[in-house]
Structure 1
Amino acid sequence: MTGTRPWTPCPHAGPHLQADSLRAHWSRLHRGDAEPLPDDPRLLDGWLLFHNGDFQAAAEHGLHLGGDGLTLANKAACVHASYVEAHESARLQRWLAAADQARQQQASAPDNPNAWYWQAYALGRYSQGISVTKALAQGLGGQIRQALDRALALAPAHAEAHLAVGSFHAEIIDKVGELIGGMTYGARKDVGLAHYARALALNPDSAITQAEVAQGWLLLEGDAAMDRSTALLERAAAFEPLDAMERLYVDSARMALQG
Protein backbone atom coordinates (compact mmCIF):
# COMPACT_ATOMS: atom_id res chain seq x y z
CA MET A 1 0.00 0.00 0.00
CA THR A 2 2.62 2.51 1.00
CA GLY A 3 5.03 1.93 -1.88
CA THR A 4 8.58 3.25 -1.92
CA ARG A 5 7.85 6.88 -2.77
CA PRO A 6 7.65 9.12 0.30
CA TRP A 7 4.19 10.47 1.00
CA THR A 8 3.56 14.20 1.08
CA PRO A 9 4.33 15.31 4.66
CA CYS A 10 1.37 16.30 6.80
CA PRO A 11 1.53 20.04 7.58
CA HIS A 12 0.41 19.34 11.14
CA ALA A 13 2.82 16.52 11.95
CA GLY A 14 4.35 16.81 15.40
CA PRO A 15 4.39 15.43 18.93
CA HIS A 16 0.82 16.38 19.77
CA LEU A 17 0.25 13.31 21.94
CA GLN A 18 2.20 10.81 24.01
CA ALA A 19 1.05 7.28 24.78
CA ASP A 20 -0.62 8.27 28.06
CA SER A 21 -2.43 11.26 26.58
CA LEU A 22 -3.56 9.17 23.62
CA ARG A 23 -5.11 6.67 26.00
CA ALA A 24 -6.78 9.50 27.92
CA HIS A 25 -8.26 11.05 24.77
CA TRP A 26 -8.96 7.83 22.87
CA SER A 27 -12.72 7.97 23.40
CA ARG A 28 -13.00 11.44 21.90
CA LEU A 29 -10.61 10.78 19.03
CA HIS A 30 -12.30 7.52 18.05
CA ARG A 31 -15.92 8.29 18.84
CA GLY A 32 -16.54 8.55 15.12
CA ASP A 33 -15.05 5.24 13.98
CA ALA A 34 -15.79 3.19 17.12
CA GLU A 35 -12.29 1.70 17.07
CA PRO A 36 -11.50 0.14 20.47
CA LEU A 37 -8.42 1.13 22.45
CA PRO A 38 -5.85 -1.55 21.58
CA ASP A 39 -4.42 -3.85 24.24
CA ASP A 40 -1.27 -4.46 22.19
CA PRO A 41 1.28 -1.71 22.98
CA ARG A 42 2.81 -2.17 19.52
CA LEU A 43 -0.52 -1.28 17.92
CA LEU A 44 -0.92 1.71 20.24
CA ASP A 45 2.51 2.87 19.06
CA GLY A 46 1.20 2.76 15.51
CA TRP A 47 -1.86 4.79 16.41
CA LEU A 48 0.41 7.32 18.09
CA LEU A 49 2.21 7.76 14.77
CA PHE A 50 -1.16 8.31 13.13
CA HIS A 51 -2.44 10.88 15.59
CA ASN A 52 0.86 12.74 15.45
CA GLY A 53 0.53 13.04 11.68
CA ASP A 54 3.13 10.52 10.46
CA PHE A 55 0.62 8.77 8.25
CA GLN A 56 3.03 6.83 6.06
CA ALA A 57 4.89 5.38 9.06
CA ALA A 58 1.54 4.55 10.68
CA ALA A 59 0.34 2.74 7.56
CA GLU A 60 3.57 0.77 7.26
CA HIS A 61 3.44 -0.08 10.97
CA GLY A 62 -0.14 -1.33 10.67
CA LEU A 63 0.64 -3.46 7.63
CA HIS A 64 3.63 -4.98 9.41
CA LEU A 65 1.51 -5.92 12.42
CA GLY A 66 -1.38 -7.31 10.39
CA GLY A 67 -4.65 -8.25 12.09
CA ASP A 68 -6.18 -5.19 13.73
CA GLY A 69 -3.21 -3.24 12.44
CA LEU A 70 -4.86 -3.29 9.02
CA THR A 71 -7.50 -0.88 10.31
CA LEU A 72 -4.71 1.51 11.27
CA ALA A 73 -3.07 1.08 7.87
CA ASN A 74 -6.30 1.72 6.00
CA LYS A 75 -7.29 4.75 8.06
CA ALA A 76 -3.84 6.28 7.73
CA ALA A 77 -3.87 5.80 3.96
CA CYS A 78 -7.41 7.13 3.55
CA VAL A 79 -6.97 10.19 5.76
CA HIS A 80 -3.69 11.07 4.10
CA ALA A 81 -5.09 10.67 0.59
CA SER A 82 -8.21 12.66 1.45
CA TYR A 83 -6.66 15.57 3.33
CA VAL A 84 -2.92 15.74 2.61
CA GLU A 85 -1.93 14.19 -0.71
CA ALA A 86 -1.75 16.76 -3.51
CA HIS A 87 -1.23 14.39 -6.46
CA GLU A 88 -4.44 13.00 -7.92
CA SER A 89 -2.89 9.78 -9.22
CA ALA A 90 -1.39 9.04 -5.79
CA ARG A 91 -4.73 9.71 -4.09
CA LEU A 92 -6.61 7.37 -6.40
CA GLN A 93 -4.00 4.65 -6.07
CA ARG A 94 -3.98 4.92 -2.28
CA TRP A 95 -7.77 4.70 -2.01
CA LEU A 96 -7.89 1.64 -4.26
CA ALA A 97 -5.11 -0.03 -2.30
CA ALA A 98 -6.92 0.65 0.98
CA ALA A 99 -10.15 -0.78 -0.41
CA ASP A 100 -8.33 -3.93 -1.50
CA GLN A 101 -6.59 -4.22 1.86
CA ALA A 102 -9.94 -3.86 3.62
CA ARG A 103 -11.40 -6.69 1.55
CA GLN A 104 -8.53 -8.91 2.64
CA GLN A 105 -9.16 -7.92 6.25
CA GLN A 106 -12.81 -8.88 5.86
CA ALA A 107 -11.77 -12.40 4.92
CA SER A 108 -9.87 -12.87 8.17
CA ALA A 109 -12.04 -10.66 10.41
CA PRO A 110 -15.56 -10.58 8.95
CA ASP A 111 -17.06 -9.24 12.19
CA ASN A 112 -14.78 -6.21 12.36
CA PRO A 113 -16.99 -3.26 11.35
CA ASN A 114 -14.03 -1.11 10.33
CA ALA A 115 -12.89 -3.70 7.81
CA TRP A 116 -16.14 -2.89 6.01
CA TYR A 117 -16.24 0.80 6.79
CA TRP A 118 -12.79 1.57 5.38
CA GLN A 119 -13.57 -0.34 2.20
CA ALA A 120 -16.67 1.83 1.76
CA TYR A 121 -14.81 5.03 2.65
CA ALA A 122 -11.96 4.31 0.25
CA LEU A 123 -14.29 3.42 -2.61
CA GLY A 124 -16.42 6.48 -1.86
CA ARG A 125 -13.44 8.82 -2.05
CA TYR A 126 -12.21 7.05 -5.18
CA SER A 127 -15.65 7.53 -6.71
CA GLN A 128 -15.52 11.25 -6.00
CA GLY A 129 -12.08 11.34 -7.57
CA ILE A 130 -13.10 9.75 -10.87
CA SER A 131 -16.64 11.31 -10.78
CA VAL A 132 -19.60 9.79 -9.00
CA THR A 133 -21.43 9.23 -12.29
CA LYS A 134 -18.55 7.17 -13.70
CA ALA A 135 -18.24 5.23 -10.45
CA LEU A 136 -21.93 4.36 -10.49
CA ALA A 137 -21.58 3.08 -14.04
CA GLN A 138 -18.76 0.82 -12.84
CA GLY A 139 -20.98 -0.65 -10.13
CA LEU A 140 -19.07 0.88 -7.22
CA GLY A 141 -22.24 2.29 -5.67
CA GLY A 142 -23.50 -1.18 -4.84
CA GLN A 143 -20.18 -2.20 -3.30
CA ILE A 144 -20.11 0.92 -1.14
CA ARG A 145 -23.66 0.46 0.05
CA GLN A 146 -23.19 -3.23 0.87
CA ALA A 147 -20.03 -2.49 2.86
CA LEU A 148 -21.75 0.31 4.80
CA ASP A 149 -24.78 -1.86 5.52
CA ARG A 150 -22.48 -4.54 6.89
CA ALA A 151 -20.55 -2.04 9.02
CA LEU A 152 -23.76 -0.69 10.56
CA ALA A 153 -25.16 -4.17 11.13
CA LEU A 154 -22.04 -4.93 13.17
CA ALA A 155 -21.82 -1.51 14.86
CA PRO A 156 -25.14 0.39 14.81
CA ALA A 157 -23.57 3.32 16.70
CA HIS A 158 -20.73 3.79 14.18
CA ALA A 159 -21.10 7.55 13.63
CA GLU A 160 -18.84 7.76 10.59
CA ALA A 161 -20.65 4.91 8.86
CA HIS A 162 -23.92 6.82 9.34
CA LEU A 163 -22.17 9.89 7.96
CA ALA A 164 -20.99 7.90 4.93
CA VAL A 165 -24.49 6.53 4.25
CA GLY A 166 -25.85 10.08 4.35
CA SER A 167 -23.18 11.16 1.88
CA PHE A 168 -23.93 8.15 -0.33
CA HIS A 169 -27.51 9.33 -0.75
CA ALA A 170 -26.54 12.99 -1.08
CA GLU A 171 -23.86 12.46 -3.73
CA ILE A 172 -26.09 10.29 -5.90
CA ILE A 173 -29.06 12.65 -5.69
CA ASP A 174 -26.81 15.62 -6.43
CA LYS A 175 -25.39 13.94 -9.55
CA VAL A 176 -28.39 12.16 -11.11
CA GLY A 177 -31.39 13.71 -9.36
CA GLU A 178 -33.82 12.39 -6.79
CA LEU A 179 -36.06 10.49 -9.21
CA ILE A 180 -33.35 8.56 -11.07
CA GLY A 181 -31.28 8.24 -7.90
CA GLY A 182 -34.19 6.65 -6.09
CA MET A 183 -35.33 4.36 -8.92
CA THR A 184 -31.88 3.18 -9.99
CA TYR A 185 -29.72 3.31 -6.88
CA GLY A 186 -32.16 3.47 -3.97
CA ALA A 187 -30.99 6.96 -2.99
CA ARG A 188 -33.52 8.92 -0.95
CA LYS A 189 -33.37 12.40 0.48
CA ASP A 190 -35.18 11.50 3.71
CA VAL A 191 -32.89 8.54 4.36
CA GLY A 192 -29.79 10.64 3.76
CA LEU A 193 -31.02 13.32 6.15
CA ALA A 194 -31.87 10.71 8.78
CA HIS A 195 -28.36 9.25 8.67
CA TYR A 196 -26.83 12.71 8.92
CA ALA A 197 -29.00 13.38 11.96
CA ARG A 198 -27.87 10.11 13.52
CA ALA A 199 -24.20 10.90 12.87
CA LEU A 200 -24.60 14.28 14.55
CA ALA A 201 -26.39 12.73 17.51
CA LEU A 202 -23.65 10.12 17.98
CA ASN A 203 -20.68 12.46 17.46
CA PRO A 204 -21.89 16.06 17.81
CA ASP A 205 -18.54 17.61 18.73
CA SER A 206 -16.58 16.40 15.71
CA ALA A 207 -15.31 18.89 13.15
CA ILE A 208 -15.46 16.30 10.36
CA THR A 209 -19.01 15.27 11.21
CA GLN A 210 -20.10 18.90 11.29
CA ALA A 211 -18.35 19.74 8.01
CA GLU A 212 -19.61 16.67 6.13
CA VAL A 213 -23.17 17.10 7.36
CA ALA A 214 -23.15 20.79 6.47
CA GLN A 215 -22.08 20.03 2.91
CA GLY A 216 -24.48 17.09 2.66
CA TRP A 217 -27.40 19.28 3.68
CA LEU A 218 -26.59 21.60 0.78
CA LEU A 219 -26.52 18.70 -1.68
CA LEU A 220 -29.87 17.41 -0.45
CA GLU A 221 -31.73 20.64 0.29
CA GLY A 222 -29.94 23.40 -1.59
CA ASP A 223 -30.42 27.02 -0.56
CA ALA A 224 -33.00 26.04 2.07
CA ALA A 225 -30.16 24.60 4.14
CA MET A 226 -27.69 27.46 3.59
CA ASP A 227 -28.04 29.21 6.96
CA ARG A 228 -27.82 26.12 9.16
CA SER A 229 -25.11 24.63 6.94
CA THR A 230 -22.99 27.75 7.33
CA ALA A 231 -23.57 27.78 11.09
CA LEU A 232 -22.45 24.16 11.35
CA LEU A 233 -19.34 24.83 9.25
CA GLU A 234 -18.49 27.78 11.48
CA ARG A 235 -18.68 25.50 14.52
CA ALA A 236 -16.33 23.06 12.81
CA ALA A 237 -13.90 25.81 11.81
CA ALA A 238 -13.74 27.04 15.42
CA PHE A 239 -13.05 23.55 16.80
CA GLU A 240 -10.03 23.14 19.11
CA PRO A 241 -8.11 20.14 17.71
CA LEU A 242 -6.18 17.63 19.78
CA ASP A 243 -4.08 15.95 17.12
CA ALA A 244 -2.98 16.13 13.49
CA MET A 245 -6.13 14.37 12.26
CA GLU A 246 -8.44 16.89 13.91
CA ARG A 247 -6.31 19.77 12.62
CA LEU A 248 -6.84 18.49 9.08
CA TYR A 249 -10.58 18.31 9.69
CA VAL A 250 -10.64 21.93 10.89
CA ASP A 251 -8.68 22.97 7.80
CA SER A 252 -11.28 21.20 5.66
CA ALA A 253 -14.11 23.09 7.35
CA ARG A 254 -12.36 26.42 6.91
CA MET A 255 -11.77 25.72 3.22
CA ALA A 256 -15.45 24.83 2.77
CA LEU A 257 -16.44 28.18 4.30
CA GLN A 258 -14.15 29.98 1.88
CA GLY A 259 -15.43 28.05 -1.13
Structure 2
Amino acid sequence: MAAWTVFPYTGDYRFDAASVTKKWARLHAGDLEPLPQDPAVLQAWVHFHNGEFQKAATAGQNLGFAGTCVASKATCVYATYLEKHETRRLDLFLAVADHASHLTANNPDNLNGRYWRAYALGRYSQGISVAKALAQGLGTKIKTDLEYVIRHAPQHADAHVALGSFHAEVIDKVGSLIGAMAYGAKKDVGLTLFEQALKLHQESSCCLLEYAHAMLMLGGNDMMDEANQLYQRAAQTKPIDAAERLDVEMAKAQLND
Protein backbone atom coordinates (compact mmCIF):
# COMPACT_ATOMS: atom_id res chain seq x y z
CA MET A 1 0.00 0.00 0.00
CA ALA A 2 1.40 3.39 -1.02
CA ALA A 3 2.00 5.88 1.75
CA TRP A 4 -1.04 8.02 2.45
CA THR A 5 -0.99 11.79 2.82
CA VAL A 6 -0.32 12.65 6.45
CA PHE A 7 -3.07 14.24 8.53
CA PRO A 8 -2.12 17.96 8.46
CA TYR A 9 -2.76 18.53 12.17
CA THR A 10 -0.76 15.60 13.44
CA GLY A 11 -0.09 15.74 17.16
CA ASP A 12 -3.18 17.82 17.95
CA TYR A 13 -5.05 14.72 19.14
CA ARG A 14 -3.41 12.38 21.60
CA PHE A 15 -5.92 9.70 22.44
CA ASP A 16 -5.02 6.43 24.06
CA ALA A 17 -7.15 3.38 24.79
CA ALA A 18 -8.36 4.79 28.10
CA SER A 19 -9.39 8.20 26.75
CA VAL A 20 -11.07 6.73 23.68
CA THR A 21 -13.03 4.39 25.93
CA LYS A 22 -14.03 7.25 28.22
CA LYS A 23 -15.22 9.44 25.34
CA TRP A 24 -16.57 6.64 23.16
CA ALA A 25 -20.22 7.70 23.35
CA ARG A 26 -19.37 11.22 22.13
CA LEU A 27 -16.85 10.02 19.55
CA HIS A 28 -19.36 7.61 18.05
CA ALA A 29 -22.60 9.50 18.58
CA GLY A 30 -23.06 9.60 14.82
CA ASP A 31 -22.38 6.00 13.82
CA LEU A 32 -23.36 4.15 17.02
CA GLU A 33 -20.34 1.86 16.66
CA PRO A 34 -20.23 -0.47 19.70
CA LEU A 35 -17.26 -0.13 22.04
CA PRO A 36 -14.90 -2.95 21.03
CA GLN A 37 -13.90 -5.51 23.63
CA ASP A 38 -10.81 -6.59 21.68
CA PRO A 39 -7.84 -4.39 22.69
CA ALA A 40 -6.38 -4.64 19.19
CA VAL A 41 -9.57 -3.28 17.62
CA LEU A 42 -9.68 -0.50 20.21
CA GLN A 43 -6.09 0.42 19.39
CA ALA A 44 -7.00 0.69 15.72
CA TRP A 45 -9.70 3.17 16.73
CA VAL A 46 -7.11 5.08 18.77
CA HIS A 47 -5.07 5.51 15.57
CA PHE A 48 -8.19 6.70 13.76
CA HIS A 49 -9.18 9.32 16.29
CA ASN A 50 -5.61 10.65 16.36
CA GLY A 51 -5.58 11.10 12.59
CA GLU A 52 -3.31 8.14 11.88
CA PHE A 53 -5.65 6.96 9.18
CA GLN A 54 -3.34 4.59 7.35
CA LYS A 55 -2.29 2.89 10.59
CA ALA A 56 -5.96 2.53 11.54
CA ALA A 57 -6.90 1.11 8.15
CA THR A 58 -4.00 -1.33 8.06
CA ALA A 59 -4.59 -2.48 11.62
CA GLY A 60 -8.29 -2.93 10.95
CA GLN A 61 -7.69 -4.91 7.78
CA ASN A 62 -5.29 -7.21 9.62
CA LEU A 63 -8.00 -7.98 12.19
CA GLY A 64 -10.45 -9.43 9.69
CA PHE A 65 -14.17 -8.82 10.12
CA ALA A 66 -13.63 -7.42 13.64
CA GLY A 67 -11.63 -4.57 12.14
CA THR A 68 -13.67 -3.93 9.00
CA CYS A 69 -15.58 -0.95 10.38
CA VAL A 70 -12.56 0.91 11.70
CA ALA A 71 -10.68 0.20 8.47
CA SER A 72 -13.70 1.38 6.46
CA LYS A 73 -14.13 4.60 8.40
CA ALA A 74 -10.42 5.41 8.32
CA THR A 75 -10.25 4.79 4.58
CA CYS A 76 -13.41 6.74 3.79
CA VAL A 77 -12.39 9.77 5.87
CA TYR A 78 -8.93 9.74 4.34
CA ALA A 79 -10.21 9.33 0.77
CA THR A 80 -12.85 12.02 1.22
CA TYR A 81 -10.58 14.70 2.65
CA LEU A 82 -6.91 13.95 2.07
CA GLU A 83 -6.35 11.80 -1.03
CA LYS A 84 -5.40 14.10 -3.89
CA HIS A 85 -5.46 11.61 -6.79
CA GLU A 86 -8.95 10.87 -8.09
CA THR A 87 -8.18 7.38 -9.35
CA ARG A 88 -6.77 6.39 -5.96
CA ARG A 89 -9.77 7.92 -4.20
CA LEU A 90 -12.18 5.89 -6.29
CA ASP A 91 -10.17 2.70 -5.78
CA LEU A 92 -10.23 3.25 -2.02
CA PHE A 93 -14.00 3.69 -1.97
CA LEU A 94 -14.50 0.55 -4.06
CA ALA A 95 -12.24 -1.40 -1.73
CA VAL A 96 -14.28 -0.26 1.28
CA ALA A 97 -17.52 -1.23 -0.43
CA ASP A 98 -16.10 -4.67 -1.19
CA HIS A 99 -14.83 -5.29 2.35
CA ALA A 100 -18.06 -4.00 3.88
CA SER A 101 -20.05 -6.31 1.61
CA HIS A 102 -18.07 -9.30 2.89
CA LEU A 103 -18.74 -8.20 6.47
CA THR A 104 -22.45 -7.80 5.79
CA ALA A 105 -22.67 -11.20 4.11
CA ASN A 106 -21.00 -12.90 7.06
CA ASN A 107 -22.55 -10.77 9.80
CA PRO A 108 -25.92 -9.38 8.66
CA ASP A 109 -26.56 -7.87 12.10
CA ASN A 110 -23.59 -5.50 11.76
CA LEU A 111 -25.43 -2.40 10.59
CA ASN A 112 -22.29 -0.37 10.07
CA GLY A 113 -21.17 -2.86 7.46
CA ARG A 114 -24.19 -1.76 5.41
CA TYR A 115 -23.63 1.88 6.32
CA TRP A 116 -20.00 1.90 5.15
CA ARG A 117 -20.88 0.06 1.95
CA ALA A 118 -23.49 2.72 1.20
CA TYR A 119 -21.21 5.60 2.19
CA ALA A 120 -18.34 4.32 0.04
CA LEU A 121 -20.59 3.73 -2.96
CA GLY A 122 -22.06 7.20 -2.48
CA ARG A 123 -18.64 8.85 -2.59
CA TYR A 124 -17.64 6.65 -5.52
CA SER A 125 -20.80 7.74 -7.34
CA GLN A 126 -19.90 11.39 -6.84
CA GLY A 127 -16.50 10.67 -8.36
CA ILE A 128 -17.73 8.93 -11.52
CA SER A 129 -20.82 11.22 -11.79
CA VAL A 130 -24.05 10.52 -10.00
CA ALA A 131 -25.94 10.13 -13.28
CA LYS A 132 -23.56 7.39 -14.42
CA ALA A 133 -23.76 5.70 -11.02
CA LEU A 134 -27.56 5.73 -11.14
CA ALA A 135 -27.46 4.11 -14.56
CA GLN A 136 -25.31 1.35 -13.06
CA GLY A 137 -27.86 0.70 -10.34
CA LEU A 138 -25.73 2.02 -7.50
CA GLY A 139 -28.42 4.45 -6.33
CA THR A 140 -30.81 1.66 -5.46
CA LYS A 141 -28.11 -0.17 -3.53
CA ILE A 142 -27.17 2.93 -1.56
CA LYS A 143 -30.75 3.86 -0.73
CA THR A 144 -31.66 0.29 0.27
CA ASP A 145 -28.69 -0.03 2.63
CA LEU A 146 -29.25 3.31 4.32
CA GLU A 147 -32.98 2.79 4.75
CA TYR A 148 -32.24 -0.62 6.26
CA VAL A 149 -29.81 0.91 8.77
CA ILE A 150 -32.27 3.63 9.79
CA ARG A 151 -35.12 1.15 10.06
CA HIS A 152 -33.11 -1.05 12.44
CA ALA A 153 -31.24 1.78 14.20
CA PRO A 154 -33.42 4.93 14.18
CA GLN A 155 -30.80 6.82 16.23
CA HIS A 156 -28.07 6.38 13.58
CA ALA A 157 -27.46 10.04 12.76
CA ASP A 158 -24.78 9.42 10.13
CA ALA A 159 -27.11 7.19 8.12
CA HIS A 160 -29.68 10.00 8.13
CA VAL A 161 -27.01 12.37 6.79
CA ALA A 162 -25.94 9.97 4.05
CA LEU A 163 -29.52 9.28 2.98
CA GLY A 164 -30.31 13.00 3.00
CA SER A 165 -27.30 13.55 0.73
CA PHE A 166 -28.56 10.78 -1.56
CA HIS A 167 -31.90 12.54 -2.05
CA ALA A 168 -30.16 15.85 -2.74
CA GLU A 169 -27.61 14.39 -5.16
CA VAL A 170 -30.21 12.54 -7.20
CA ILE A 171 -32.52 15.55 -7.49
CA ASP A 172 -29.59 17.79 -8.38
CA LYS A 173 -28.49 15.49 -11.20
CA VAL A 174 -31.74 14.18 -12.72
CA GLY A 175 -34.37 16.64 -11.48
CA SER A 176 -37.27 16.39 -9.06
CA LEU A 177 -39.68 14.53 -11.34
CA ILE A 178 -37.38 11.77 -12.55
CA GLY A 179 -35.69 11.64 -9.16
CA ALA A 180 -38.98 10.94 -7.44
CA MET A 181 -40.37 8.55 -10.05
CA ALA A 182 -37.26 6.50 -10.74
CA TYR A 183 -35.37 6.65 -7.46
CA GLY A 184 -37.81 7.80 -4.78
CA ALA A 185 -35.75 10.95 -4.18
CA LYS A 186 -37.68 13.88 -2.72
CA LYS A 187 -36.55 17.31 -1.58
CA ASP A 188 -38.68 17.44 1.55
CA VAL A 189 -37.60 13.95 2.62
CA GLY A 190 -33.94 14.85 2.16
CA LEU A 191 -34.19 18.03 4.22
CA THR A 192 -36.16 16.25 6.93
CA LEU A 193 -33.44 13.59 7.19
CA PHE A 194 -30.84 16.28 7.88
CA GLU A 195 -33.03 17.87 10.53
CA GLN A 196 -33.49 14.47 12.17
CA ALA A 197 -29.74 13.90 12.09
CA LEU A 198 -29.11 17.20 13.88
CA LYS A 199 -31.65 16.31 16.54
CA LEU A 200 -29.86 13.00 17.09
CA HIS A 201 -26.36 14.50 17.09
CA GLN A 202 -26.40 18.25 17.65
CA GLU A 203 -22.61 18.55 17.70
CA SER A 204 -22.15 16.94 14.29
CA SER A 205 -19.95 19.16 12.15
CA CYS A 206 -20.29 16.53 9.42
CA CYS A 207 -24.08 16.86 9.38
CA LEU A 208 -23.91 20.66 9.24
CA LEU A 209 -21.39 20.49 6.40
CA GLU A 210 -23.34 17.97 4.33
CA TYR A 211 -26.64 19.74 5.06
CA ALA A 212 -25.16 22.94 3.62
CA HIS A 213 -23.96 21.07 0.52
CA ALA A 214 -27.43 19.59 0.09
CA MET A 215 -29.14 22.97 0.41
CA LEU A 216 -27.00 24.36 -2.39
CA MET A 217 -27.80 21.38 -4.59
CA LEU A 218 -31.51 21.65 -3.90
CA GLY A 219 -31.93 25.41 -3.91
CA GLY A 220 -28.85 26.99 -5.46
CA ASN A 221 -28.53 30.72 -4.83
CA ASP A 222 -31.99 30.82 -3.25
CA MET A 223 -30.65 28.84 -0.31
CA MET A 224 -27.18 30.40 -0.19
CA ASP A 225 -27.86 32.29 3.05
CA GLU A 226 -29.15 29.19 4.82
CA ALA A 227 -26.21 27.16 3.56
CA ASN A 228 -23.70 29.74 4.75
CA GLN A 229 -25.31 29.73 8.18
CA LEU A 230 -24.77 25.98 8.34
CA TYR A 231 -21.17 26.34 7.18
CA GLN A 232 -20.63 28.93 9.90
CA ARG A 233 -22.09 26.64 12.55
CA ALA A 234 -19.87 23.80 11.35
CA ALA A 235 -16.79 26.04 11.32
CA GLN A 236 -17.49 27.12 14.88
CA THR A 237 -17.88 23.65 16.35
CA LYS A 238 -15.08 22.31 18.51
CA PRO A 239 -13.77 19.11 16.94
CA ILE A 240 -13.21 16.27 19.35
CA ASP A 241 -10.95 14.22 17.08
CA ALA A 242 -9.08 14.24 13.78
CA ALA A 243 -12.08 13.34 11.63
CA GLU A 244 -14.18 16.18 13.01
CA ARG A 245 -11.24 18.53 12.54
CA LEU A 246 -11.31 17.79 8.82
CA ASP A 247 -15.03 18.61 8.70
CA VAL A 248 -14.46 21.90 10.49
CA GLU A 249 -11.57 22.89 8.24
CA MET A 250 -13.65 22.05 5.17
CA ALA A 251 -16.44 24.28 6.45
CA LYS A 252 -13.97 27.12 6.96
CA ALA A 253 -12.70 26.64 3.41
CA GLN A 254 -16.24 26.84 2.03
CA LEU A 255 -16.79 30.14 3.81
CA ASN A 256 -13.55 31.54 2.43
CA ASP A 257 -14.33 30.62 -1.21
User: Could you tell me the TM-score, scaled by structure 2's length?
Assistant: 0.96
Tell me the equivalent position of 1:231. 229
Of all paired residues, the percent bearing the same amino acid is: 52
Is 1:93 paired with 2:91?
yes
Cα distance, 1:65 vs. partner?
1.2
Aligned residue type for 2:2: R
Tell me the equivalent position of 1:169. 167
1 or 2 for the larger relative contact order (CA 8 Å, sep ≥6)? 1
Is 1:12 paired with 2:9?
yes
- How far apart, in 2, do the equivalents of 1:27 and 1:92 lie? 31
For 1:54, which of 36, 52, 55 is the aligned residue? Answer: 52
For 1:240, which of 238, 241, 247 is the aligned residue? Answer: 238
Contact 1:111 1:154 in 2 (8 A): no
Aligned residue type for 1:7: W
- Per-residue CA shift, 1:139-183, capped at 9, x if unaligned? 110111111122112211110100111100000111111011111
For 1:31, which of 26, 29, 32 is the aligned residue? Answer: 29
Contact 1:16 1:244 in 2 (8 A): no
Cα distance, 1:18 vs. partner?
2.0
- Per-residue CA shift, 1:212-243, capped at 9, x if unaligned? 11221222233343222211210111122222
Tell me the equivalent position of 1:115. 113
Tell me the equivalent position of 2:251. 253
Cα distance, 1:186 vs. partner?
1.1
Tell me the equivalent position of 2:125. 127
Say how many residue pairs are matched.
256
User: Partner of 1:240: helix, strand, or coil?
Assistant: coil
- How far apart, in 2, do the equivalents of 1:225 and 1:140 lie? 28
- How far apart, in 2, do the equivalents of 1:154 and 1:77 lie? 25
For 1:200, which of 198, 201, 208 is the aligned residue? Answer: 198
- How far apart, in 1, do the equivalents of 2:161 and 2:240 lie? 21
Contact 1:12 1:248 in 2 (8 A): no
Give ranges in structure 2 of 5+ residues lacking alignment: none
Taking the TM superposition and a 5 Å limit, the aligned residue runs for 1:183-194 are 183-194=181-192
- How far apart, in 1, do the equivalents of 2:145 and 2:151 lie? 10
Aligned residue type for 1:137: A
Contact 1:207 1:250 in 2 (8 A): yes
For 2:148, which of 150, 163, 182 is the aligned residue? Answer: 150
Tell me the equivalent position of 1:71. 69
Aligned residue type for 1:189: K
